[in-house]
Every structure is written in structure tokens, then in C-alpha cells.
Amino acid sequence: MAPRNRPGNKGDVPDEVAAIRAAIKDCLNQQDGQGRVICNAKYGVYCFYDYDNEPIYVGQTSESLRQRIGRHLTNQRTDAVAMNVLDPFEVRVIEMYPLWELADSAYSKDERQSILNRAEYALYQKVVEQSRYHAVLNEADVPQTEHYPLPITYSRSIIPDAIYELRKHPDIRMARRAMTVANLARVISERDVSVGLRRTLLTQVRRLEHLARTRLEEFGESYPQEAGGETGEAPDTSETLVDDIE
């Protein structure tokens, strides 16, 4: 049995968690060609990809890539609804686009925000085109704006290879994704939510359906036909049950 975490002992965590934390730290501390730590950029846009290299979330920040991405991965969002949209377990690769130039005092606050919006929309268009669902899990719409040329991108996997081989198993991912769908549906049933959150729920259901269908197709003819014939109808057991009771 894995040891429980003891209060005040942050190092007492499972090996898998420690390895992922180390990979996240490496990701957040990587440097560009000029020796700048990429995630220290105050302004930028970013995208998360899952274990199938499917884009799942696009965002922007004016507080630093490090802080914003870190809150996502530790599920420390201030919005309780947002915490039910994206499961950090799903994230395998982080793609970052630092906008160093926006730190220049020549830009006004409105100009910076305009460029951030344009860069986020450019990234959104890029990844939605790549997506098999033509959608990501953002609850809020990414406003359509004028095109903005994206800067050099930096991407890094935050899941070590050995752990990836374990976590990528579709049955494990289906269980996690089904839990996310259930949580989203519960939030929707309890609150007056946006249309965007309902759209996110639909996207998550489609993602779950794809995993389940792909998993079923992997088995092919390896399992015998279930009783009930080719139609898949359940056999009539009512008489047998009655006889058993009597």
C-alpha cells in the first residue's frame, strides 16, 4: 500500500506524483534561445493536449504563463465551475506562446489586451482545425478577432514515458472522463449555467464516446456474441425467474 501523505511532509508522495511534478517543473523552467525562462513571460497564450495529442483547452494570460498554467494543473482555479471543466489528469503536453514584446511600456493596457485576444483566437483557430471534434473544452467563447501571427511555440510533455504507458490505457481514461461528464452534468442540473458550459459537456461526451467506441473496436471478434441474437436484444428470462422463485 502506498504511504499516506503526512501533514507538513511534502516529499512523502507516490513516486508517480513526484515524477510528474518534476516533469511539470522542467516544463515551467525551460528556456528559449536567449536564455529567458519561457513561463516567466507575463503575457502569452497556451494550449493543452491530451494523451491522443488532441487539443483540449486554449487560454491567455496577463499574469505570467507560470502562474496561469500552474493553477490549471493543480486545479486551483478560483471558479468552482471551471474546476469541473478540465481534468488535469487529461493533460499530457503543454504548448506555450510567450508574448515578450507586450512587456514594453509603449503598449497601453487596451493594446495589450487586444493583442492577447488576437493571439488567443489565432491559436484557437489553429487547434480547432486540428481537432477531430473541431472543438475544445473552453466554456467561454474565444471572440473572433483580426488575425495575429503567433510567435515561436514551445511545447513539452509533462508525463514521463513510463507513466504515459500506464495512464494512456483507454479504460483508465474512460473512467476519468466519465467522472468529468458526471460532474459537469451535476453542475448544470444545480445551477443556471451558460450555453458554453452545455457545449463543453457535449464535447466531453463526444470525447468519451470516441474512447468507448475505439476500445470496443479493438476487440473485434475476440468475444462471443451475447445471448439474444444479432439484434443485441436481451433474452426473455421472465419465466425462468418465476420458476426459480416458486
Cell 473496436, located at residue: 217
Can you give the pTM of this predicted structure? 0.83
Query: CA-CA distance, 29 to 51, in Å (whole number)?
Result: 22
Band of residue 240 on the pLDDT scale cut at 50, 70, 90: very low
Band of residue 34 on the pLDDT scale cut at 50, 70, 90: very high
pLDDT digits (tens, 9 = 90+) for 91-122: 999 999 999 999 999 999 999 999 999 999 99
Supply angle C-alpha 95, 10, 51, rounded to 5. 30
- Specify whether the CB–CB gap between 30 and 156 falls below 8 A: yes
Q: Which three cell numbers stand for residue 72?
A: 490549471
Q: Provide the mean pLDDT of the chain.
A: 86
Q: Which amino acid is at 230?
A: E
